Amino acid sequence: MKHRSYQFTHALCREPAQSVTQGLRLSDHGNPDPELLARQHDIYIQALKTAGVIVNIMPAREAFPDSVFVEDAALVLKGAAILLQPGAASRAGEPEALLEDGTAYFKSIVKPDLGGPIDGGDILVFDDLILAGLSARTSAAGAEGLAKAAAEFGYDLRAAQTPPDILHFKSHCSLLDHQTVISTPGLARSGCFDGFKVLTTPEDEPQGSNVIRVNDYVIMSAEAPQTIDMLRAEGFEVLPVPTTEVAKIDGAVSCCSLRYSL
Ligand code: CIR
């Protein structure tokens, strides 16, 4: 049977730093509480384990307040990590930190010259197709650079547009299965998911659109109750996890892990 893009054997996370209080944010909702964030991160890791993956955890990196959001530093295709070029200056060293701390966890690790910035949060991976949302963190040049790197693994890459005023493409959409996405209504209207089945979140619950489908489970924010009910009614096995602290610095469930198969 074809290997699906939501089937994973492994996940890689990073312990949150105490400096997470300095994490970047588009608007201020107060600093995250590092202790509570760490407890919520543990619950998240437990959910990944329930979904059947082996979770490896790298040590905290105090020099990088946002380094718990490990998804932005690399894209893993077929077990091989492609180091990315984060678009925020304070995060530029995170791929190097991943190289130092994480190399042993992948089949291989490459550092291509991407020619421009691109964050993992802007990259949505289907079975053979990648959508890359152009944003303040991801340039057309970065997406083109990644297209070349991803082609070597058999993926086509299509650029899309991250909606204005949000951080990342995946702040407003996620994969539910190989032919289904969940999206905010606004992003769905842009037409970037033509050819896919699209479920839309309620207008007042955009936080429901960032989920991770991991094997038979959908891990998502407990702070999206209407979307949880909707996905359960659609037959998905949902594992809600608390995300109040990462949400204060524009984080959500997808950014806290790299998921892949070995
Ligand atoms: C940042 O602004 O880079 C972090 N505070 C949040 C990153 C979230 N990453 C993601 O959704 N992939």
**Ligand 1 in reach of 72 Cβ (< 6 A):** yes
**Hey, which of 26, 175, 255 would you mutate to test ligand 1's pocket, going by the most ligand atoms within 8 Å of its Cβ?**
255
Q: Give the number of the atom of ligand 1 that is nearest the alpha carbon of residue 86.
A: 3
Report the separation in Å between the CA atom of 155 and the middle of ligand 1, taken as the mean of its atom positions.
24
Do the Cβ atoms of 40 and 15 come closer than 8 Å?
no
Average pLDDT, the chain: 97
Active site residue ranges = 168, 255
**Ligand 1 in reach of 245 Cβ (< 6 A):** no
**Ligand 1 in reach of 251 Cβ (< 6 A):** yes
Q: What is residue 2's predicted lDDT score, i.e. its pLDDT? A: 81
**Hey, which of 249, 256, 258 would you mutate to test ligand 1's pocket, going by the most ligand atoms within 8 Å of its Cβ?**
249
Q: What band does 1 get if pLDDT is binned at 50, 70 and 90?
A: confident
Q: Residues 53-75: what's their mean pLDDT? A: 98
Dump pLDDT digits (tens) for 188-198: 999 999 999 99
**Residue 22 pLDDT greater than 80, yes or no:** yes
**Residue 24 pLDDT greater than 80, yes or no:** yes
**Ligand 1 in reach of 32 Cβ (< 6 A):** no
Report the separation in Å between the CA atom of 78 and the middle of ligand 1, taken as the mean of its atom positions.
24
Dump pLDDT digits (tens) for 103-153: 999 999 999 999 999 999 999 999 999 999 999 999 999 999 999 999 999
Dump pLDDT digits (tens) for 83-106: 999 999 999 999 999 999 999 999
**Looking at the whole model, is its pTM more than 0.95?**
yes
**Residue 232 pLDDT greater than 90, yes or no:** yes
**Ligand 1 in reach of 71 Cβ (< 6 A):** yes
Q: Give the number of the atom of ligand 1 that is nearest the alpha carbon of residue 65.
A: 5
Q: What is residue 112's predicted lDDT score, i.e. its pLDDT? A: 97
Q: Which domains does the chain have, with CATH numbers?
A: 10-260 (3.75.10.10)
**Ligand 1 in reach of 120 Cβ (< 6 A):** yes
**Residue 220 pLDDT greater than 80, yes or no:** yes
Q: Whose CA is nearest to atom 7 of ligand 1?
A: 251
Q: What is residue 165's predicted lDDT score, i.e. its pLDDT? A: 87
Q: Whose CA is nearest to atom 12 of ligand 1?
A: 121
**Ligand 1 in reach of 94 Cβ (< 6 A):** no
The 3-state secondary structure of the chain, one letter per residue: CCCCCCCCCEEEEECCCHHHHHCCCCCCCCCCCHHHHHHHHHHHHHHHHHCCCEEEEECCCCCCCCCCCHHHHEEEECCEEEECECCCHHHCCHHHHHHHHHHHHCCEEECCCCCCCECHHHEEECCCEEEEEECCCCCHHHHHHHHHHHHCCCCEEEEEECCCCCCCHHHCEEEEECCEEEECHHHHHCCCCCCCEEEECCCCCHHHHCEEEECCEEEEECCCHHHHHHHHHCCCEEEEECCHHHHCCCCCCHHHCEEECC
**Ligand 1 in reach of 41 Cβ (< 6 A):** no
Report the separation in Å between the CA atom of 2 and the middle of ligand 1, taken as the mean of its atom positions.
31
Q: Whose CA is nearest to atom 2 of ligand 1?
A: 24
